[in-house]
Chains A and B, each alone.
Chain A
Amino acid sequence: MTERETLPEDQPGPRSLTDLFLTFTWLAVQGFGGVMAVAHRELVERKRWLTQAAFVEEWAVAQIMPGPNVMNLSLVIGGRRFGWRGALAAMAGMLALPLGLVLLLALAYGRFGGHPAVARALRGMGAVAAGLILAAGLRLFGALRAHPLGGATCGALAVGAFGGVALLHWPMPFILLGLGTVACAATYARLDP
């Protein structure tokens, strides 16, 4: 990975606190069943605030730190250019409108929740949401070709993490710590001092 700087100056980034707030609002309201897939699409492919590699790096930080992953991602990206004010603007964007919507939904659910069409629509959207996340994973996988460990080792680590969580149902923090330590140590050995 030659791209070490996460937000290089010649790359487009958030222009202002308002820009951050609105970007993350737009991102959040598209995120049915989770925001991460949409975050990848908006931030990497549409806005180009982050490279594929930088997105994975920030996502790793967001996952390993306490707190909801997508909230952490928003505060890391917001905080990069604008400090804690940017972090708060990005988090507020992520929360404000969706919070209003989910409270409205809670009120509506009290009245229409029993309708079978609602359940069927939610099921269809759930299947689409799963596809979005799989696609984001597949796209990011391509960014591993330049990884210091090489494609094969990276592939094995990714398959191991996938298998442990998806097939064997091990707790995610164990996988992050266990496989993560191995991967970080191996990468450390390969990097220039």
Chain B
Amino acid sequence: MAGPGPLALHGWDWLQLLGHFLLLSLLSVGGALTTAPEMHRYLVLQQRWLSETQFSSSITLAQAAPGPNILFVALLGWNLGMNSGGPLLALAGVVLSLTGILLPSTVVTHLASQWGHRNRHLRAVRAFKQGMAPVVIGLMLATGWILARASQAGGRGWPLWLLTATTALLIWRTRLHVLWLLAAGALLGILGVV
């Protein structure tokens, strides 16, 4: 993932990076990927620490790999470290980026959730949790829809939609394990069916 000459980070730069991620963490309402545009502006356009290719492949790889999407931030840190000197710095970059993006939001969410649980019988707390339910379910369906459309890129259209719909039906109506379906999806892809 070598880019067209991104700059190396030095001591003070790492601190700035940490500060930037700590701030972004508190602003990251609505999911891991909502902060990606701001990270792109800062890391690629403003500081020139990462190349475009390094940035976009970090997101693609994190989505392809199992685990939470926030791991794209770990890959950004990895690439920053590799640009600055090698695998040891890259590991340090991973730790620094993940700590920055997770620490503030974790503290805030934990405190809020403990408070909410202690006061769970308050009418306002019940109204909040139950009232958000239909909206949140609508957003969940929207995420599925957006992912289905994204997987169309470069694909053949209807076979991919059929695969998505079949998966949704099977999971909705049966107890078939998720991993079988993912394996089937990969196989159909390799065979060129979808």
Interface flags for B167-194 (1: CB within 8 Å of A; 0: not) read 1111110010011011011111110101
Interface flags for B66-95 (1: CB within 8 Å of A; 0: not) read 111111001100100000000000000010
By the criterion CB–CB under 8 Å, are B134 and A69 in contact? no
Within 8 A of B (CB), among A19-43: 28-38, 41
Interface size on A, as a range, is 35 or more
CB distance from B193 to the nearest CB of A (A): 8
Question: Taking each of A63, A147, A193, which has the highest tally of chain B beta carbons within 10 Å of its own beta carbon?
Answer: A63
A-B contact pairs, 13 of them (CB 8 A): A4-B121, A34-B147, A37-B178, A57-B133, A110-B1, A121-B187, A121-B189, A124-B185, A132-B178, A137-B144, A144-B133, A161-B138, A183-B132
CB distance from B144 to the nearest CB of A (A): 4
Within 8 A of A (CB), among B125-147: 126-147
A165 to B30, CA, bound (A): 12
Known pairs A103-B94, A131-B167, A165-B139; A176 contacts B30 (CB<8 A):
yes
A12 at interface by CB-CB < 8 Å:
no
Of all chain A residues, the one with the shortest Cβ separation from B105 is: A67
B119 at interface by CB-CB < 8 Å:
no
* Residues of the A chain whose Cβ atoms lie less than 8 Å from the Cβ of B190: 117, 120-121, 124
CB distance from B57 to the nearest CB of A (A): 7
Of all chain A residues, the one with the shortest Cβ separation from B166 is: A131
By the criterion CB–CB under 8 Å, are B127 and A188 in contact? yes
A37 to B68, CA, bound (A): 11
Known pairs A32-B64, A133-B143, A134-B141; A68 contacts B27 (CB<8 A):
no
CB distance from B29 to the nearest CB of A (A): 5
By the criterion CB–CB under 8 Å, are A184 and B131 in contact? yes
Interface size on B, as a range, is 35 or more
Binding site for B on A (CB under 8 A): 1, 4-6, 28-38, 41, 45, 53, 56-57, 59-72, 75-76, 79-80, 83-84, 87, 91, 94-95, 97-99, 101-103, 105-106, 109-110, 113, 117, 119-141, 143-144, 147-149, 153-155, 157-162, 164-166, 171-173, 175-176, 179-180, 183-188, 191-193
B104 at interface by CB-CB < 8 Å:
yes
* Residues of the A chain whose Cβ atoms lie less than 8 Å from the Cβ of B66: 28-32, 98, 101
A106 to B59, CA, bound (A): 11
